[in-house]
Amino acid sequence: MSQIYDRVALIGLGLIASSMYWAVKRAGLAGEVTGFARSETTRETARRIGLCDRVCDTVQEAVEGADLVVLCVPVGAMEGVAQQIAPVLKPGATVSDVGSVKRHVIEAVSAHIPEGVHFIPAHPLAGTEHSGPESGFAELFDNRWCLLVPVEGSDVDAISGLRALWEGMGSNVDEMDADHHDLVLAVTSHAPHLIAYTMVGVADDLRRVTDTEVIKYSAAGFRDFTRIAASDPTMWRDVFLTNKDATLEILGRFTEELFALQRAIRTGDGEQLFDYFTRTRAIRRGIIDAGQDTDAPDFGRGKT
């Protein structure tokens, strides 16, 4: 793989930025990668583990002279960062982001992008429940999708450059319109996270089952919920605040279906339950056939 950008700046040094750094280095996609995080602690950790070629003490210093600037901060922090970097962006540079919600980020960031700088929003559909500078790894994006969400009039060469970077980091790349992205993600990621948070909360509140029992006898279903519900609170607060309409639409539909299943259980309608579960099983098969998960028992976790 050959170099795509002379200099890349990563703003925010958590799970996604650190994974990007290791993936960029693995394939030699950039000459130099600079990095900035708001806290001194995170910057010190980054220096200690060799995350970024140069960790800067100000966001402006990290961005100066960069050909690509990627905003890797929580969705609610994007606008503030865009405002801070606007005066120092290099003419002809590309600004991108990795935020989990796109319409809000486009509205919050676009206004601050100077003439002659290209803004190409993006969202890698890859992550773990861990966060921070030490949680990243080069393989995170391998065979995962990255959605590019070009805004009106986006520069074709700037899109090609960013596409090549994500492909070089191991991703499959697609382009999508912002509103459709937010609806798709509400179904595939945002509503499921809320359901996991709720289920773990319910188990915690249920006094007739002790915490020890929940932990000791937690079967695969609940264990998967607890893993998802351990995700970063700031990131997920921002996702729900900024993808409000699509999430509420999906949760409305979810509630209707839940009531229908609840009724089927109460009335003993086994046929309805069986048909429903048969349909959903086929969806799982489709995900495995598309290479997006493993059908190994217990998701390949082994006996741990």
Q: Which residues bind ligand NAP (CB under 6 A)?
A: 12-17, 37-39, 42, 72-75, 77, 80-81, 98-100, 123-124, 127, 131-132, 232, 235
Angle at 291 between CA 286 and CA 292, to 5 degrees: 80
Q: Residue 57, CB half-sphere, CA atoms under 13 Å: how many? A: 0
Give one DSSP letter per residue of 186-215, joined into a string: IIIIIHHHHHHHHHHHHHHH-TTS-HHHHH
Task: Decide whether 42 or 94 has the Cβ nearer to ligand NAP.
Answer: 42
Residue 84 per-residue DSSP state: H
- Identify the three-state secondary structure at position 46: helix
Q: In whole angstroms, what is the distance from residue 233 CA to residue 239 CA?
A: 10
Task: Decide whether 93 or 235 has the Cβ nearer to ligand NAP.
Answer: 235
43: Cα separation from own chain's centroid: 22
Rounded least distance, CB 74 to ligand NAP, Å: 5
Rounded least distance, CB 77 to ligand NAP, Å: 3
Print the SS3 string covering 90-122: CCCCEEEECCCCCHHHHHHHHCCCCCCCEECCE
Task: Decide whether 19 or 94 has the Cβ nearer to ligand NAP.
Answer: 19
Task: Decide whether 179 or 257 has the Cβ nearer to ligand NAP.
Answer: 179
Task: Decide whether 38 or 180 has the Cβ nearer to ligand NAP.
Answer: 38
Task: Decide whether 151 or 214 has the Cβ nearer to ligand NAP.
Answer: 151
- Identify the three-state secondary structure at position 282: helix
Closest CA to 239 of 188, 203, 202: 188
Rounded least distance, CB 17 to ligand NAP, Å: 6
Rounded least distance, CB 171 to ligand NAP, Å: 11
Q: In whole angstroms, what is the distance from residue 195 CA to residue 202 CA?
A: 10
- Identify the three-state secondary structure at position 5: strand
Rounded least distance, CB 277 to ligand NAP, Å: 28
Task: Decide whether 213 or 293 has the Cβ nearer to ligand NAP.
Answer: 293
Task: Decide whether 15 or 194 has the Cβ nearer to ligand NAP.
Answer: 15
First to last CA, the chain: 37
Rounded least distance, CB 180 to ligand NAP, Å: 17
Rounded least distance, CB 161 to ligand NAP, Å: 20
264: Cα separation from own chain's centroid: 36
Closest CA to 122 of 142, 86, 94: 94
Rounded least distance, CB 20 to ligand NAP, Å: 9
